[in-house]
Structure 1
Amino acid sequence: MIIGGTIATRSSKKARKTYLRTVQNIQLTGSIPKMSRIDNPFIGFSKEDARRLHHPHDDVLVVTIQAGDYNMHRVLVDNGNSADILYYPAFQQMGIDRERLVPTNALLVGFGGTRAFPFGVVTLAVTVGDYQQQITKNVAFLVVDCSSAYNAIIGRPTLNSWKTVTSTYHLMVKFLTDYGVGELRGDQAMNIEEQQAAIEPVERLEDVPLDESQPERTTKIGTLADPTVRQTLTTFLKENRDVYAWSHDDMLGISPSIMVHRLNVSPSFPPVCQKNRVFALERDRVVAEEVRKLLEVGFIREVYYPDWLANVVMVKKSNGK
């Protein structure tokens, strides 16, 4: 559960008292209609809604939304979250100008009391549902730079503004539109992939040096095999260490007569030049270093025709690099 965010702006003592009086007044004087209007569609869930899922499960509700011009995957729908959150790596990949961030003094408090201060607030047009049962509304995301398995979190502010009804059993969100009840289904495969990524290796690996004169050149083999098999495998690897590419210089490339890679795009579509993306200083240094290595060994070359340009995509490895 994450507490805080944009609703923290009314967290003063006076504001809380005013809010409490408003809630009590509604509870005391609000009338409940005896019969529901026929023109109001009913939101409910059926056995058919759960037919596509694997049961039993305790998966979280992870969906895909359209945020701006992007289809954003791995978005967590969380009723226990008091803020809508966009994580900074996703913010960068979307190529959003940091000038669009509106400063905020909102404070987020997560499980265990850990605190996070957002970079700011960015407002994006979010579309959910299928045509015509879909809605598009602006969502104010708090941009946070911290580790997460998700790209964004949809919390109570947006769920309430959409007038949604969620079901974790059915892994589905339903909401009212001008053309009936819209729905947004969760992706159970995303939960399965996440669980598989957290599985520990079946055996421990040990480092095996392949060249005594260069001890940094090692490989790994399993420890569950018979000692005789491991010794045979180690000897074989040492005898064939020349097949390893220890640096870019050792990668001689493949002749075009053997294999050529081409982009399978229609020639009727014009090339696209992406808007230049600004990276954080740390990531910018990594990009510059990798480009330098590739230039020195001749893997890439500088070109001067900006007909088709794509930004670098940064992916953090398991070792943190």
Structure 2
Amino acid sequence: MEVGYPDHRRPLYLASSINQIPIKRALVDMGAPMNLIPLSTLQAAGISERKIQGCPMEVTGFGRKGEYTAGHIQLWLKMGPIASLARFHMVKMEVSYHVLLGRPWLHKHRLVSSTYHQCLKGRMNGKMIRIAANPSPFEQVEAYLVETMFYDQWAPSGESSEKLELILLLKEYKDVFAWDYSEMPGLDPGLVVHTLNVDLEAKQVAQPTRKFHTEIEGKIVKEVEKLLAAGFIKPI
């Protein structure tokens, strides 16, 4: 497999999301025995420190310098087609990554990483998957970070922060929205109404019964039952 930069020194940064909040720099590090998340990422995602559990642990970095974590937290991580809960140990230090994914996450999903080929590879549901690196993990305002020297293009400035602010706003006012049929009783027809524009004089023709895959049919039955229970539809 050829790479665009045969003599590059790029780290393996992947785009992902934490609790549905997009992040640009998930650093994959095969040498790390745990997954790490800095306090700044938790704050940007609107996650309270009070959710941190467990006792501090010492982690040793470059030069054998020791730092202590503040505990751990379970977060929903989505990386490409892979979505699952992951345990992160929180650190209060300035780092260039948004999260660091070590051996626990890689081994859990049986993934092989390559900084040279800038990707992760593995198998999911019997099929080969490949998750490519983020080609532009830094914004221009982050040019002071040393690792930006390895990249020749910037992420769109402000786009990610605006999207993050919008997601946080929607989460703050999530009680305004209806998330289930049962939360919409007595919906005012003056607000919205659905009609079928049919010719009442047209001859009615019974259509043949449609057959679905058993898995899809089960989902259809569940949705119909929800609509019946909420009174949105009724048998005729």
Q: Cα gap change, 1:195/1:167 in structure 2, threshold over 3 Å: closer, same or farther?
A: farther
Equivalence for 1:73: 24
Structure 2 distance, partners of 1:66, 1:179, is 24
The reply to whether residue 150 of structure 1 matches residue 97 of structure 2 is: yes
Q: Is the Cα contact below 8 Å between 1:62 and 1:191 reproduced in 2?
A: no
Q: Is the Cα contact below 8 Å between 2:24 and 2:137 reproduced in 1?
A: no
* Equivalent residue letter for 1:72: I
TM-score by length of 2: 0.58
Equivalence for 1:313: none
Structure 1 distance, partners of 2:52, 2:37, is 12
Q: What do residues 220-239 of structure 1 show as CA deviations (whole Å, max 9, x unaligned)?
A: xxxxxxxxxxxxxxxxxxxx
Structure 2 distance, partners of 1:176, 1:185, is 14
* Equivalent residue letter for 1:169: Y
Once the two structures are superposed, the pairs formed by residues 99-114 of structure 1 within 5 Å of their partners are 99-114=50-65
Q: Is the Cα contact below 8 Å between 1:62 and 1:187 reproduced in 2?
A: yes
The reply to whether residue 275 of structure 1 matches residue 226 of structure 2 is: no
CA drift at 1:56: 2.0
* Equivalent residue letter for 2:33: S
- Of residues 1, 5, 9 in structure 2, which corresponds to 1:58? 9
CA drift at 1:166: 1.0
The reply to whether residue 83 of structure 1 matches residue 34 of structure 2 is: yes
The reply to whether residue 167 of structure 1 matches residue 114 of structure 2 is: yes
Give the paired residue count.
152
Structure 1, unaligned stretches of length 5 or more?
Answer: 1-45, 200-271, 277-306, 308-321
Q: Cα gap change, 1:117/1:192 in structure 2, threshold over 3 Å: closer, same or farther?
A: same
Structure 2, unaligned stretches of length 5 or more?
Answer: 147-168, 177-236
CA drift at 1:92: 0.7
Structure 2 distance, partners of 1:95, 1:68, is 10
Q: Is the Cα contact below 8 Å between 2:38 and 2:92 reproduced in 1?
A: yes
CA drift at 1:157: 0.9
Q: Cα gap change, 1:188/1:95 in structure 2, threshold over 3 Å: closer, same or farther?
A: same
Q: What do residues 211-250 of structure 1 show as CA deviations (whole Å, max 9, x unaligned)?
A: xxxxxxxxxxxxxxxxxxxxxxxxxxxxxxxxxxxxxxxx
Structure 2 distance, partners of 1:124, 1:182, is 23
SS in structure 2 of the partner of residue 158 of structure 1: helix
Structure 2 distance, partners of 1:93, 1:74, is 13
Structure 2 distance, partners of 1:194, 1:113, is 31
Q: What do residues 85-106 of structure 1 show as CA deviations (whole Å, max 9, x unaligned)?
A: 0011011111112222112232
Structure 1 distance, partners of 2:170, 2:142, is 37
CA drift at 1:194: 9.6
User: Which deviates more from structure 2 when the two are superposed, residues 89-98 or residues 104-113?
Assistant: 104-113
SS in structure 2 of the partner of residue 176 of structure 1: strand
Structure 2 distance, partners of 1:192, 1:171, is 19
SS in structure 2 of the partner of residue 188 of structure 1: coil
CA drift at 1:113: 2.0
* Equivalent residue letter for 1:162: H
Q: What do residues 9-41 of structure 1 show as CA deviations (whole Å, max 9, x unaligned)?
A: xxxxxxxxxxxxxxxxxxxxxxxxxxxxxxxxx
Structure number with higher relative contact order (C-alpha < 8 Å, ≥ 6 residues apart): 2
The reply to whether residue 178 of structure 1 matches residue 178 of structure 2 is: no
Q: Cα gap change, 1:193/1:164 in structure 2, threshold over 3 Å: closer, same or farther?
A: farther
* Equivalent residue letter for 1:176: R
Structure 1 distance, partners of 2:40, 2:34, is 18
* Equivalent residue letter for 1:139: A
User: Which deviates more from structure 2 when the two are superposed, residues 98-107 or residues 72-81?
Assistant: 98-107
Q: Alignment identity in percent?
A: 20
Once the two structures are superposed, the pairs formed by residues 102-251 of structure 1 within 5 Å of their partners are 102-129=53-80, 134-178=81-125, 180-190=127-137, 196-197=143-144
Equivalence for 2:219: none
Equivalence for 1:29: none
Q: Cα gap change, 1:143/1:183 in structure 2, threshold over 3 Å: closer, same or farther?
A: same
Structure 1 distance, partners of 2:120, 2:138, is 17
Structure 1 distance, partners of 2:138, 2:5, is 12
Alpha-carbon RMSD: 2.5
